């Protein structure tokens, strides 16, 4: 897995965009990511939809490599760590977590995070409605009430549509960045891309396995 990075500075803080759907925040020694949707594949299979069972493993392998690459001590997850009811994927996640003795997990609760407090306690996850870490406020979804702060959020699964010659089209995940917010791409590869919604006056940093490109 090739890790490509691009540093940006916002409010005097250096944030490192990666081509693997997560940001590294140097000051906090933390990875910021969103929309992992653990449990989604098991939920689909339980309902008779034949989804490959290695999707979660691939997502967790990418996350492991990012943690090791940056030597991160904290995961700041801005919502939808989980997807559905408690299922076998939570056991897979717990086993994966056991390799990191000192890793701190903070979850800013998203609309899909409806699991029990018992599960969160068992996984040693700190749960917040929103998290203020100056100069940023971490939320799952940026709303009008956040207009006075700079938010880092997820929820919308942003992407860009690139049109080529003729009918050629290419969709890529991206970070959307404007004067008052960053919207993260969904971390899980098992998500769609929303290319129809983009904040006013924002720029997009789209990425592939080999590059990060600003639009």
Q: How confident is the model at residue 40 (pLDDT cuts 50, 70, 90)?
A: low
Q: Could you tell me how many residues make up the chain?
A: 215
- Give the mean pLDDT of 51-61: 82
Query: Between 83 and 24, where is the model more confident?
Result: 24
Mean model confidence pLDDT for the chain: 90
Exposure on the CB side of residue 86, measured as CA atoms within 13 A:
10
pLDDT of residue 109: 93
166: left (phi over 0), alpha (psi -120 to 50) or beta: left
| pLDDT (tens digit per residue) in 119-171 | 888 899 999 999 999 999 999 999 888 989 999 999 999 999 988 777 788 99
Specify the CATH number for the domain of residue 117.
3.60.21
**pLDDT reading at 50 higher than 60:** no
- Contacts of residue 7, defined as CB under 8 A and 6 or more positions apart, other chains included, come to 14, 15, 16, 17
**pLDDT reading at 60 higher than 80:** yes
Domain that holds residue 198: 5-214
Q: Tell me the three-class secondary structure of the chain, residue by residue.
A: CCCCEEEEEECCEEEEEECCCCEEECCCCEEEECCCCECHHHHHHHCCCCCCCCHHHHHHHHHHHHHHHHCCCEEEECCCCECCCCCHHHHHHHHHHCCCCCCEEEEECCCCCCCCHHHHHHCCEEEECCEEECCEEECCCCCHHHCCCEEEECCCCEEEEEECCCCCEEEEEEEEECCCEEECCCCCCCCCCECCCCCCCCEEEEECCCCEEEC
**pLDDT reading at 103 higher than 90:** yes
pLDDT of residue 42: 53
**pLDDT reading at 24 higher than 90:** yes
| Tally of structural domains, the chain | 1
pLDDT of residue 4: 98
Query: Between 44 and 116, where is the model more confident?
Result: 116
**pLDDT reading at 190 higher than 80:** no
Would you say 105 and 120 are in contact if contact means Cβ atoms under 8 Å apart? no
């Amino acid at each position: 897995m090739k890790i490509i990075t691009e540093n940006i500075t916002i409010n005097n803080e250096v944030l490192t965009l990666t081509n693997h759907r997560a940001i590294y925040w140097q000051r906090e020694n933390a990875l910021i990511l969103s929309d992992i949707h653990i449990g989604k594949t098991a939920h689909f299979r339980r309902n008779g939809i034949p989804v490959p069972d290695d999707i979660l493993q691939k997502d967790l392998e990418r996350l492991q490599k990012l943690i090791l690459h940056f030597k991160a001590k904290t995961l700041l997850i801005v919502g939808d760590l989980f997807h559905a009811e408690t299922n076998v994927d939570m056991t897979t996640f717990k086993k994966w977590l056991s390799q990191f003795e000192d890793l701190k997990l903070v979850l800013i609760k998203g609309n899909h995070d409806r699991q029990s407090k018992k599960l969160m306690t068992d996984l040693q996850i700190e749960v917040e409605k929103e998290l203020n870490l100056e100069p940023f406020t971490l939320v799952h979804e940026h709303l009008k009430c956040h207009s006075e702060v700079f938010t880092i959020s997820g929820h919308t699964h942003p992407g860009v549509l690139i049109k080529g010659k003729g009918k050629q089209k290419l969709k890529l995940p991206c970070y959307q960045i404007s004067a008052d917010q960053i919207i993260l791409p969904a971390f899980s590869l098992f998500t769609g891309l929303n290319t129809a919604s983009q904040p006013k006056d924002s720029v997009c940093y789209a990425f592939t396995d080999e590059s990060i490109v600003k639009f």
